[in-house]
Amino acid sequence: MKPEPLSYDTAPPASQAVIDDIKQTRKVEDVNDFWKYLANDPVTMKRTWESVKEVMQPGALDVLTKEMLYLAVSITNSCTYCIASHSAAAAKAGMSKEMFGELVAVVGMANETNRLVTAYRVPVDKAFGG
Amino acid sequence: MKPEPLSYDTAPPASQAVIDDIKQTRKVEDVNDFWKYLANDPVTMKRTWESVKEVMQPGALDVLTKEMLYLAVSITNSCTYCIASHSAAAAKAGMSKEMFGELVAVVGMANETNRLVTAYRVPVDKAFGG
Amino acid sequence: MKPEPLSYDTAPPASQAVIDDIKQTRKVEDVNDFWKYLANDPVTMKRTWESVKEVMQPGALDVLTKEMLYLAVSITNSCTYCIASHSAAAAKAGMSKEMFGELVAVVGMANETNRLVTAYRVPVDKAFGG
Amino acid sequence: MKPEPLSYDTAPPASQAVIDDIKQTRKVEDVNDFWKYLANDPVTMKRTWESVKEVMQPGALDVLTKEMLYLAVSITNSCTYCIASHSAAAAKAGMSKEMFGELVAVVGMANETNRLVTAYRVPVDKAFGG
Amino acid sequence: MKPEPLSYDTAPPASQAVIDDIKQTRKVEDVNDFWKYLANDPVTMKRTWESVKEVMQPGALDVLTKEMLYLAVSITNSCTYCIASHSAAAAKAGMSKEMFGELVAVVGMANETNRLVTAYRVPVDKAFGG
Amino acid sequence: MKPEPLSYDTAPPASQAVIDDIKQTRKVEDVNDFWKYLANDPVTMKRTWESVKEVMQPGALDVLTKEMLYLAVSITNSCTYCIASHSAAAAKAGMSKEMFGELVAVVGMANETNRLVTAYRVPVDKAFGG
């Protein structure tokens, strides 16, 4: 049972409709491979795309900030594909090489101090609701 | 061997010097409990503070963005103390309740799609260097 | 120090005995590559196999459910090898493509809501022992 | 910025509508505390509930299996609240004490062998698509 | 379904036998609470204790080194109980306060650089088998 | 935005200075690829190297123990590059094949019992500060 990507022609109609919407929304000629794999499961594909579209649209946070948050999570989870695709998306949204460098530094530092806090068993400060 | 927080008076001189610098840099009257625990190990405390100070200063990314990235990592790592302290720091730097809500939504979504990608074993797109 | 897989002939006798037992128990002609690497350490190999054999046998839960739980953990941990081998094992035990799709959807959703809970610092409900 | 739970009366109308739907769908008199916290963000609350409702309904997998998969992920992620609430949900769906015990054993074993695989750097078997 | 600890008198005979063996092996008057919870599942309790006993005995690595490795993993996994109990076990085996401080520093640093490596998508050096 | 490694000649002067110091400190003819990627960001590179140099020097713990702790964390985080490079570093510092085998066994066991503890929601023993 090795999942295989589906081309547009071999995808179920429900998945084709999602692909069409992604292309139109993002103004791209083709979708990322992630969606071609997810096309095997039209229900999950539709729900995921609608959620991503809602969550990633500009709101109280702009698109660049959202993409960088996505990238920070993906680095922490060691998701290589996600790092690659969201590095590209963040760059498209305006992330410079210097901003990427600082993002990585913050992510590294947060992962380090998270463990210092845990190791020393620090209870939450009263001022922060502890 | 349960680590205990050190008050300023009981901390080693090298740790007192770090506490002084934190207070002065952040313009606060007291430091967070994290530092009072870390005061047990002046070498790690000094290195950690100097790194945090360098990494978290405004640069290509502003302070608010950096605090939100820190928070996104801390949520992904389930570090309760870190979530509490960096929620507060991000709020101080300008994060509204709406921005917090969107940050959490992005972090949740990224954690979900990271697993979809992994489960479907999606290789990196050629366009992203795969 | 790069671990290399051992063929049956080059494995220590204690590892050969484990390989024999795996083949006989699972009624397979060869063992997965995991065991060929683990054959370098006969003590860990023997303990691991005996534990796996005990834990994965049908009991209050059937084999298919156990394999799907194994897969859910492996996806959450981003263990590519484990996803590949336990997808195959679950399929052999009866997991259909539709069941795989729903499993992945649940795993993704759980990873998302786990972070929402953590971000909002929700204490355990009294009804659940909080 | 410490999130606080909202009672039905203090929640925004859009969140009240979600609470109503949860109560009706699950046939319960009150919702879990998770939803009372999430009520602060009606957009995320609505999207999350609709996704949970879709993903957790019986399909190719029954409700009990889905709840156990959820629990397996929550244990792996150390989400105490999620373990508490989904242990209860799984028990309600039919998980016995013996089934819980075996689930925990599988989750523990999977977390162990995931690391053995990773430590030995085992490439995916050709038979599994490697 | 909230697991409750079992006292010796209320534990099943198979669990009592494990408790007896832990007390005798470790030369302690009572077992840690972990075992009192695990006593609910005699099969998992027996297997876990026998594995722990085998894995943690002195061999190519001494007991102190093994306890420190256990602690490093527990910090990385944010397992508060495990950090508490294995800090105590490591201290009993000879870990000084200074050694604990350096252990925490290494664990923090490793968690940081693990993310730098991942973020920069560094392939394994040829010299290391890449 | 795919990070590319920099050769010594193409690296910024600030990164060249770090490379020189690594070579001299470690008495090696070339640096690991990690540093060639990090050379893109001289500020993070300098801070990371100075931290690594301080943290990994012999102190209350010897170099071999520190490298093994690093390796234990890297296995738990599934950082393939880090496992490869720190297996090599630990071997250089004296880790035998038998020691590696026992390290892996402890790391696997700790990851298993961490989840058993979490699943049973075991509170910290009073004796350990709970």
3-state secondary structure chain F: CCCCCCCHHHCCHHHHHHHHHHHHHHCCCCCCHHHHHHCCCHHHHHHHHHHHHHHHCCCCCCHHHHHHHHHHHHHHCCCHHHHHHHHHHHHHCCCCHHHHHHHHHHHHHHHHHHHHHHHCCCCCCHHHCC
| Count of Cβ atoms closer than 10 Å to residue D59 Cβ | 16
* Mean pLDDT (chain B, rounded): 97
Residues of chain A with pLDDT under 70: none
Residues of chain E with CATH 1.20.1290.10: 1-57, 58-121
Does E16 have pLDDT greater than 90? yes
Quick one: pLDDT at residue C129?
87
Contacts of B45 (CB under 8 A, 6+ apart): B14, B15, B18, B35, B38, B39
Binning pLDDT at 50, 70 and 90, where does residue F46 land?
very high
- CB-based contact F112 D112, cutoff 8 Å: yes
Quick one: pLDDT at residue C30?
96
Q: Give the nearest chain B residue to D38 (CA atoms).
A: B101
Task: Record the tokens describing residue E1, joined without a space.
Answer: 């379904």
User: What percent of chain E has a predicted confidence (pLDDT) above 70?
Assistant: 100
| CATH, range B58-124+126-130 | 1.20.1290.10
Question: Distance (Å, rounded) from C-alpha A6 to C-alpha F20?
Answer: 50
User: Chain A contacts of C103, Cβ < 8 Å?
Assistant: none
Contacts of E36 (CB under 8 A, 6+ apart): E5, E6, E7, E11
Q: Give the nearest chain B residue to E100 (CA atoms).
A: B1
To the nearest whole Å, the CA of A98 is away from the closest chain F CA by: 8
Binning pLDDT at 50, 70 and 90, where does residue C58 land?
very high
Q: Give kind and range of the element (H or E) at residue D12.
A: none
- Contacting chains of C (3 CB pairs or more, <8 Å) are A, B, D, E, F
What is the Rg, in whole angstroms, of the alpha carbon atoms belonging to chain E? 18
Quick one: pLDDT at residue A65?
98
To the nearest whole Å, the CA of B35 is away from the closest chain D CA by: 21
Tens digit of each residue's pLDDT (9 = 90 or more) over F48-82? 999 999 999 999 999 999 999 999 999 999 999 99
Does E1 have pLDDT greater than 90? no
For F88-108, b/e burial (b = at least 16 CB within 10 A) is bbbbebebeeebbbbbbbbbb
Mean pLDDT on C61-67: 98
Task: Give chain B's length.
Answer: 130
* Mean pLDDT (chain E, rounded): 97
- CB-based contact C1 F105, cutoff 8 Å: no
Tens digit of each residue's pLDDT (9 = 90 or more) over E87-96? 999 999 999 9
Question: Distance (Å, rounded) from C-alpha A15 to C-alpha E121?
Answer: 31
Given a contact cutoff of 8 angstroms between Cβ atoms, the answer to whether C102 and D51 are in contact is: no
Amino acid present at D91: A
- CB-based contact B117 A52, cutoff 8 Å: no
- CB-based contact E2 C54, cutoff 8 Å: no
- CB-based contact D122 C56, cutoff 8 Å: no
- CB-based contact E44 D95, cutoff 8 Å: no
Does F129 have pLDDT greater than 90? no
Residues of chain B with CATH 1.20.1290.10: 1-57, 58-124+126-130
Quick one: pLDDT at residue C1?
75
- Contacting chains of A (3 CB pairs or more, <8 Å) are B, C, D, E, F
* Mean pLDDT (chain C, rounded): 97
Quick one: pLDDT at residue F66?
98
Q: Give kind and range of the element (H or E) at residue B98.
A: helix B97-119
Question: Distance (Å, rounded) from C-alpha E114 to C-alpha B73?
Answer: 14
Quick one: pLDDT at residue B130?
84
Does F125 have pLDDT greater than 90? yes
> Which of A2, A51, A129 lies at the smallest CB-CB distance from D51?
A51
What is this model's ipTM?
A: 0.97
Does F1 have pLDDT greater than 80? no
Best mutation target among B1, B49, B51 (most E Cβ atoms within 10 Å) is B1
Given a contact cutoff of 8 angstroms between Cβ atoms, the answer to whether F47 and F53 are in contact is: no
- CB-based contact F104 C44, cutoff 8 Å: yes
DSSP C125: P
Crossing angle of the two packed helices B97-119 and C80-92, in degrees rounded to 10: 60
Q: Give the nearest chain E residue to C129 (CA atoms).
A: E2
User: What percent of chain B has a predicted confidence (pLDDT) above 90?
Assistant: 97
Task: Record the tokens describing residue B64, joined without a space.
Answer: 């608010």
- Contacting chains of D (3 CB pairs or more, <8 Å) are A, B, C, E, F
Quick one: pLDDT at residue E130?
84
Given a contact cutoff of 8 angstroms between Cβ atoms, the answer to whether A39 and A6 are in contact is: yes
Given a contact cutoff of 8 angstroms between Cβ atoms, the answer to whether C114 and D82 are in contact is: yes
To the nearest whole Å, the CA of A104 is away from the closest chain F CA by: 9
Does the domain spanning F58-121 belong to CATH 1.10.10.10?
no
- CB-based contact C108 B116, cutoff 8 Å: yes
- Sign of torsion over alpha carbons B102, B108, B112, B117: positive
**The CATH number of domain D59-121, selected from 1.10.260.30, 1.20.1290.10, 3.40.718.10, 1.10.8.50:** 1.20.1290.10
> Which of B100, B105, B108 lies at the smallest CB-CB distance from D1?
B100
| Count of Cβ atoms closer than 10 Å to residue C64 Cβ | 18
> Which of B68, B112, B120 lies at the smallest CB-CB distance from A65?
B68
- CB-based contact F2 B128, cutoff 8 Å: yes
Quick one: pLDDT at residue D124?
96
- CB-based contact E70 F99, cutoff 8 Å: no
**The CATH number of domain C59-122, selected from 3.40.50.1970, 3.50.50.60, 3.40.50.720, 1.20.1290.10:** 1.20.1290.10
| CA diameter of chain B | 59
Given a contact cutoff of 8 angstroms between Cβ atoms, the answer to whether B108 and C118 are in contact is: no
User: Chain A contacts of E75, Cβ < 8 Å?
Assistant: 115, 118-119
- Contacting chains of B (3 CB pairs or more, <8 Å) are A, C, D, E, F
User: Chain B contacts of A60, Cβ < 8 Å?
Assistant: 96, 98-99, 101-102
Residues of chain A with CATH 1.20.1290.10: 1-57, 59-121
- CB-based contact E121 A80, cutoff 8 Å: yes
Given a contact cutoff of 8 angstroms between Cβ atoms, the answer to whether F36 and B47 are in contact is: no
Tens digit of each residue's pLDDT (9 = 90 or more) over D21-57? 999 999 999 999 999 999 999 999 999 999 999 999 9
Task: Record the tokens describing residue F49, joined without a space.
Answer: 């190297």
Task: Record the tokens describing residue F56, joined without a space.
Answer: 């990994």
Tens digit of each residue's pLDDT (9 = 90 or more) over E57-87? 999 999 999 999 999 999 999 999 999 999 9
Quick one: pLDDT at residue F5?
97
Binning pLDDT at 50, 70 and 90, where does residue B41 land?
very high
DSSP A130: -
Size of interface A-F (CB pairs under 8 A): 26
Tens digit of each residue's pLDDT (9 = 90 or more) over D66-121? 999 999 999 999 999 999 999 999 999 999 999 999 999 999 999 999 999 999 99
Best mutation target among F47, F114, F126 (most B Cβ atoms within 10 Å) is F47
Does B5 have pLDDT greater than 90? yes
Quick one: pLDDT at residue A1?
74
- CB-based contact C80 B108, cutoff 8 Å: no
To the nearest whole Å, the CA of F83 is away from the closest chain C CA by: 10
- CB-based contact A113 E118, cutoff 8 Å: no
- Contacting chains of F (3 CB pairs or more, <8 Å) are A, B, C, D, E
Looking at chain F from residue 48 to 87, which residues have their Cβ under 8 Å from any Cβ of chain B?
A: 51, 54-55
Does C48 have pLDDT greater than 90? yes
Q: Give the nearest chain A residue to F80 (CA atoms).
A: A78
Quick one: pLDDT at residue D114?
98
Is D128 in CB contact (< 8 Å) with chain A? yes
Does B80 have pLDDT greater than 80? yes
Does B37 have pLDDT greater than 80? yes
Given a contact cutoff of 8 angstroms between Cβ atoms, the answer to whether C121 and D79 are in contact is: no
User: Chain B contacts of D1, Cβ < 8 Å?
Assistant: 87-88, 90-91, 95, 97, 100
- CB-based contact A129 D2, cutoff 8 Å: yes
First-to-final CA distance of chain F = 48
Size of interface D-E (CB pairs under 8 A): 26
| CATH, range B1-57 | 1.20.1290.10
Q: Give the nearest chain D residue to F75 (CA atoms).
A: D119
- CB-based contact E115 A121, cutoff 8 Å: no
Mean pLDDT on B26-54: 97
Does D1 have pLDDT greater than 90? no
Q: Which 3 state secondary structure label does DSSP give C117? A: helix
Does F118 have pLDDT greater than 90? yes
